[in-house]
Structure 1
Amino acid sequence: MTSPETAPEPAVPAAAGERTTSRDVARAAGVSQATVSLVLGGKWRGRVSERTADAVRAAARELGYRPNLAARSLRLGRTRTALLVVPALTNEFFARVYAGASGVAGENGFGVVLYPSPEGVGPARDPFGSARSTLDGVIASSMAAGALAEMRGGGLPLVMLDSDPAGADVAATVNPDIADGMRQVMDHLLGLGHRRFLHLAAAVDTWTFHVRARTLAETARSVPGTEVRTEPAALEVHAGRRAVERALAGPGPRPTAIVCDGDVLAAGACKALRRLGLRVPEDVSVTGFDDLALATAVEPELTTVRLPAEEVGERGMAALLAVLDGRPAPGAALPVELVVRDSTGPAR
């Protein structure tokens, strides 16, 4: 393999009507055509140095080289298209997941079709009538593997994001560390002296919300004298508001902290507290989850858990590409971060 340190020929764009070839790129970068194929096909890691890959990409850009994806697809028997299924487009998290996935896909000559399931997290219909013949794989965020059975056609590789890692017939799973995020929330509030909690729980039957509820309960049980009440709510601001008003109207002492399964619910909780004449955080602390743009749009700004949505999408697409190439997909949980803002304070 030719070293990139050898002096490459100056990159000269093809004349009008001529197509730049991989041989032109190889000559300009001072490498072999095989190296060009590896780099532009996204299979260079571990086989070609970073410096060589940069040289090949730079030469391709200067020459205006575009690989013949149609010919490559026919040769590989692939469409070079992945389907990303999400429960809804109304949540900013899924838009950021798509941005991450499509970025990695574009670097590797793939396209990503975004499909918000009309059934939310329920069984998703095949949007193409026969997804198996038009796709190379499916990526699904925050859903159950069984919900994708129809569109997979029984054979397409499936990568799950923010979903049960024990799901059956799943090629790979990419998850933010949801449990650690909830532990960070509870440790923060317990450290501020809070012992009476209201858990404003998303009324959505998915793995990610089950993990939040289970971890909250486990962490609370580890500290004597801690009480947790749970109030379910749809993932909407007004549903969160109504749920908090309902919970605070009930018997028993008022909670000193409300732990919400999402920033949208937290915004509803803050709205309910204001309507009841209570201050955040002086009377009641409130936490969110996700760190959406909404978290800094409300007043006071929300203490919340920042999820690496773009990285989830990037890792998900990279995992699908690895599966298609017969390589192992990484499975480590992605770290999350508690962002402390003004909606939490010491318990009264």
Structure 2
Amino acid sequence: MARAAGVSQATVSLVMGEKWRGRVSERTAEAVRTAARELGYRPNLTARSLRLGRARTALLVVPALTNEFFARVYTGAARAAAEHDMGVVLYPSPEGTGPARDPFASARATLDGVIASSMAAEALTDLREGGLPLVMLDSDPERTDSPPTVNLDIADGMRQVTEHLLALGHRRFAHIAADIDSWTFRVRAHALAEALRGTAGTVLRSEPAALDVASGRLAAERALTADGTLPTALICDGDILAAGACKAARRLGLRVPDDVSVTGFDDLPLASALEPELTTVRLPAEAVGEAGMRALVAVLDGRAPGSASLPVELVARASTTVAATS
């Protein structure tokens, strides 16, 4: 390649290693790149990795791929990784949605670091002891032993939902709550209770549900048939649960939103496929993946990434309206 470009081997190394600026002219750098294209040159990433002491691979651990949110997180992480000539290995938990088993012991030697989403702290013990760099997604940033975190402003999302429903006159609420012990769902429950605390005359009951349509339907049926006054709004921890809640209302002869309003969380494609379309909170999943990957790269480069909280947005659609009077 040096012969074809009419330069020294050292110059080729500088250009192909992206270290030429200030040392080689733009014209010379372009000559080297042109020679590389004409000769079909491809960098030896294995050799580069050995030289830099990196595997150039990150592990992304997600609870499951059955929820499109996590597939979008991967898309964002992979896009950011490509900007740094890195790859991303995806590890979905065999347990489904919930804490993932520890996958690190066998893979540690071939990884630069890990981005872990919604995992139980116990699953990270071996990783922390092994010193492999870690960035957490959807994790409590207030923990004293917490690694860098990238979170969505989940609390604000639930506040937006609650304020939207209060403005429509709703005062009787049922929370269809994901029955998963993780930071993100604890935050939702706490934020909902806090948002209602300052409004007189509000009633809130909670029905736990596994994160699937059938469980959401059963939990909503319990909320809508319990002794006492019918709730006028069902606040669901996810769009999947909200789909189940809409089915429950129809089975009980109730109309959404005339008799009961329903809200979700995530803004999956499902939200606009439902009829009526679902009021929900839009979560920028790809941005989460990108931010997680960039935070990990910062750690690998010896920089302090800090912790990030990404904004979320209420999307009001036809599944909510003015509270029914009764």
Q: Tell me, in whole angstroms, the C-alpha distance in 2 between the residues paired with 1:234 and 1:332.
A: 29
* Structure 1 residues 23-102: aligned runs within 5 Å: 23=11, 33-35=19-21, 63=37, 66-102=42-78
Q: Tell me, in whole angstroms, the C-alpha distance in 2 between the residues paired with 1:233 and 1:185.
A: 19
Q: Does 1:298 align with 2:298?
A: no
1:231 and 1:244 in contact (8 A); partners too: yes
Aligned to 1:274: 250
* Structure 1 residues 214-225: aligned runs within 5 Å: 214-225=190-201
* DSSP 3-state at the match of 2:314: strand
Describe the superposition over 1:146-177 as per-residue Cα deviations: whole angstroms up to 9, x where unpaired.
32223555311110111111345443100110
Describe the superposition over 1:313-341 as per-residue Cα deviations: whole angstroms up to 9, x where unpaired.
00000000000001121423111000010
The Cα of 1:106 is off from its aligned counterpart by 1.3
Residue 284 of structure 2, aligned match among 308, 311, 331: 308
The Cα of 1:24 is off from its aligned counterpart by 5.3
User: Residue type matched to 1:122 in 2?
Assistant: P
CA pair 304-61 structure 1, distance change in 2 beyond 3 A: farther
Describe the superposition over 1:68-122 as per-residue Cα deviations: whole angstroms up to 9, x where unpaired.
3222211222111111001111100000000000111112111111001123433
Q: Does 1:158 align with 2:144?
A: no
TM-score by structure 2 length?
A: 0.87
* DSSP 3-state at the match of 1:163: coil
Give unmatched runs, 5+ long, in structure 1.
Answer: 1-11, 16-20, 38-51
* DSSP 3-state at the match of 2:317: coil
Aligned to 1:253: 229
* DSSP 3-state at the match of 1:175: strand
CA pair 248-141 structure 1, distance change in 2 beyond 3 A: same
* DSSP 3-state at the match of 1:198: strand
Residue 185 of structure 1, aligned match among 140, 161, 174: 161
Give unmatched runs, 5+ long, in structure 2.
Answer: none
2:150 and 2:307 in contact (8 A); partners too: yes
1:257 and 1:284 in contact (8 A); partners too: yes
Aligned to 1:124: 101
* DSSP 3-state at the match of 1:67: coil
Q: Tell me, in whole angstroms, the C-alpha distance in 2 between the residues paired with 1:109 and 1:326.
A: 18
Q: Tell me, in whole angstroms, the C-alpha distance in 2 between the residues paired with 1:32 and 1:65.
A: 15
Q: Tell me, in whole angstroms, the C-alpha distance in 1 between the residues paired with 2:68 and 2:142.
A: 26
244-253 vs 275-284, greater mean Cα deviation:
244-253
Q: Tell me, in whole angstroms, the C-alpha distance in 1 between the residues paired with 2:300 and 2:170.
A: 49
Q: Tell me, in whole angstroms, the C-alpha distance in 2 between the residues paired with 1:281 and 1:23.
A: 69
1:145 and 1:170 in contact (8 A); partners too: no
2:298 and 2:304 in contact (8 A); partners too: yes
The Cα of 1:142 is off from its aligned counterpart by 1.7
| Alignment RMSD | 2.8
TM-score by structure 1 length?
A: 0.82
Q: Tell me, in whole angstroms, the C-alpha distance in 2 between the residues paired with 1:143 and 1:323.
A: 20
Equivalent residue pairs, number? 311
CA pair 100-32 structure 1, distance change in 2 beyond 3 A: closer
265-274 vs 156-165, greater mean Cα deviation:
156-165
2:162 and 2:192 in contact (8 A); partners too: yes
1:163 and 1:173 in contact (8 A); partners too: yes
Aligned to 1:8: none
